[in-house]
Amino acid sequence: MASMRERAPRADAADAAAPALDLPPEIVAAIDAAISAHRTRPGALLPILHDVTARIGYVPPAAIASIAHALNLSRAEVAGVVSYYHDFRDAPPGRCIVKVCRAEACQAVGADALVEHACTRLRVAMHATRDDGAVSLEPVYCLGNCALGPSITVDGKLYGRVTPERFDRLVAQVKP
């Protein structure tokens, strides 16, 4: 039965075998804090990965070993989850994250043209972070704002009826 694979987390966070992290101390502290906040909850892996992302913006590959150790999982299991979900990234994002909805309802009101405009205005391709680290541009598949498309988010904040002009105002913080 699949559920038999659910294993108890390790009891002791300071287990002698805990792997050392080759990361700056503040990032190590953030990862440790996320692990200790959730490690005893059932199904703790997603809450931990969300928490790490909320604290430092991404899940450093070097953190996988310590998360795996704390949850008594293999590194492959943790890496597999990180790579499976769109929300988890393994490298720091740009200083501003712009997501443009590409789903059908937004396509019906010009989302494809807005994607093109976004790439031109932000000088970055979809799924990419600009070389200067100023911005990441990503697709998203439905923001639940389908009567007021095209929709985007800028740093998590939702905007509807986004024309190219409105887009430019909303990303004014990003230098062209």
Partner 1 sequence: MTTTVYVPRDAAARSMGADQVAAAMAAAAPEARIVRNGSRGMLWLEPLVEVVTGSGRIAYGPVTPEQVPGLVAAGMLHGADHPLRHGPVDSIPYFAKQERLTFGRVGLIDPLNTDDYAAHGGWAGLRAALELAPEQIVATVLDSGLRGRGGAAFPTGIKWKTVLETEASQKYVVCNADEGDSGTFSDRMLLEGDPFAVIEGMIIAGLATGATAGFIYLRSEYPDAADALHTALASARAGGYLGPSILGSGKAFELEVRMGAGSYVCGEETALLESLEGKRGIVRYRPPMPAVQGLWGKPTALNNVVTLASVPIILARGGAYYREFGLGRSRGTLAFQLAGNIARGGLVERAFGVTLRELLYDYCGGSASGRPIRAVQVGGPLGAYIPAADFDLPLDYEAFAAKGAIVGHGGIVAFDDTADMAKLARYAFEFCAIESCGKCTPCRIGAVRGKETLDRLRAGDRPRHQLALLRDLCDTMEKGSLCAMGGMTPYPVKSALEHFPEDFGIERTPAANASGTRA
Report the interface residues with partner 1, using CB under 8 A.
1-4, 6, 42-47, 49-50, 71, 77, 80-81, 84-88, 103-109, 140-149, 151, 156, 158-161
Q: DSSP alpha helices (H): ranges in 85-139? A: 104-107, 111-122
Q: How far is the CB of 159 from partner 1 (least distance, A)?
A: 5
CA distance 70 to 13: 7
CA distance 166 to 69: 47
Q: How far is the CB of 24 from partner 1 (least distance, A)?
A: 25
Residue 46 or 134: the one with the smaller Cβ distance to partner 1 is 46
In whole angstroms, how large is the CA radius of gyration of the chain?
19
Residue 65 or 123: the one with the smaller Cβ distance to partner 1 is 65
Confirm if 116 and 124 have CB atoms less than 8 A apart.
Answer: no
Pseudo-torsion of CA 56, 29, 67, 139, nearest 10°?
A: 0
Q: How far is the CB of 167 from partner 1 (least distance, A)?
A: 13
Residue 85 or 91: the one with the smaller Cβ distance to partner 1 is 85
Confirm if 104 and 141 have CB atoms less than 8 A apart.
Answer: no
Residue 68 or 122: the one with the smaller Cβ distance to partner 1 is 68
Residue 87 or 90: the one with the smaller Cβ distance to partner 1 is 87
Q: How far is the CB of 147 from partner 1 (least distance, A)?
A: 3
Q: How far is the CB of 59 from partner 1 (least distance, A)?
A: 11
Confirm if 62 and 68 have CB atoms less than 8 A apart.
Answer: no
At residue 154, the 3 state secondary structure works out as strand
